[in-house]
């Protein structure tokens, strides 16, 4: 397996830890963490520092019956069923897929998509791009995070393979092209509608719903 070259930026990892990332982005970060030992180690190191700070904080008195109440809650709260990873899809993606294989929708040119979630804060989708095919050239109205799950793509920022995460801000104008070999399967989160350049892709935009 090739080494992951493109990781989560510190500010996005901070926001993830603080729980302030919109849902779509937090799923992409969780998916990267599940396949990237380096970022997971960094997150755990942060948590250790946080825990050490908490350990130094003044103790607060615990209610005498607190332990019993916590234990009884543990007894009555059923553990939620967490889908496991399957094939190229890590557990956070399988959770979004509700444990089912993707239901691809054709976008033309062999490109397929499944929208996993979409709200005011952002949208999350899986993209399937055949080898050598390009995603329509676009710039961003905001932040886009793209995680490669299978195959690879390249654009003006470099080459991205399984596990690599591309962080694109609104100043990046790029045209990702899938590499040779396996079809490129990506998980992408965007926080604003993409702006496509050519007329035809603009007509396709309602289809993309991104």
Residues of this chain that bind Zn ion (CB under 5 A): 7, 36, 38-39
Question: Kindly report the CA angle at 37 between 32 and 40, in degrees rounded to 5?
Answer: 70
Which residue from 55, 89, 84 is spatially nearest to 185, judged by alpha carbons?
89
Is the distance from CB of 209 to CB of 115 less than 8 angstroms? yes
Is the Cβ of residue 129 or residue 165 nearer to Zn ion in the bound state?
A: 165
Is the distance from CB of 186 to CB of 177 less than 8 angstroms? no
Is the Cβ of residue 42 or residue 121 nearer to Zn ion in the bound state?
A: 42
Query: Shortest distance, CB of residue 75 to Zn ion, whole angstroms?
Result: 38
Is the Cβ of residue 113 or residue 146 nearer to Zn ion in the bound state?
A: 146
Is the Cβ of residue 113 or residue 166 nearer to Zn ion in the bound state?
A: 166
CA dihedral of residues 139, 143, 149, 150 (deg, nearest 10)? 10
Query: Shortest distance, CB of residue 54 to Zn ion, whole angstroms?
Result: 26
Query: Shortest distance, CB of residue 27 to Zn ion, whole angstroms?
Result: 15
Helices (H), the chain: 10-18, 23-35, 37-55, 66-76, 91-96, 199-208
Query: Shortest distance, CB of residue 33 to Zn ion, whole angstroms?
Result: 7
């Amino acid at each position: 397996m090739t080494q992951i070259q493109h990781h989560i930026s510190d500010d996005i990892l901070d926001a993830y830890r603080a729980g302030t990332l919109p849902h779509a982005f937090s799923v992409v970060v969780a998916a990267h963490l599940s396949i990237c030992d380096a970022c997971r180690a960094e997150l755990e190191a942060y948590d250790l520092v946080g825990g050490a700070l908490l350990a130094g904080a003044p103790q607060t008195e615990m209610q005498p019956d607190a332990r019993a109440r916590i234990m009884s809650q543990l007894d009555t709260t059923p553990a939620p069923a967490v889908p496991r990873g399957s094939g190229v899809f890590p557990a956070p993606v399988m959770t979004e897929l509700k444990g089912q294989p993707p239901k691809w929708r054709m976008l033309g040119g062999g490109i397929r998509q499944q929208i996993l979630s979409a709200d005011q804060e952002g949208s999350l989708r899986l993209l399937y791009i055949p080898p050598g095919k390009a995603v329509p050239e676009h710039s961003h109205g905001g932040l886009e995070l793209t995680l490669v799950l299978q195959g690879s793509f390249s654009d003006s920022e470099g080459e991205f393979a399984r596990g690599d995460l591309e962080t694109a801000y609104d100043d990046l104008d790029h045209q990702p092209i899938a590499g040779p070999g396996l079809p490129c399967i990506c998980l992408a989160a965007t926080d604003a509608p993409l702006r496509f350049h050519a007329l035809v892709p603009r007509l396709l935009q309602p289809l993309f719903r991104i």
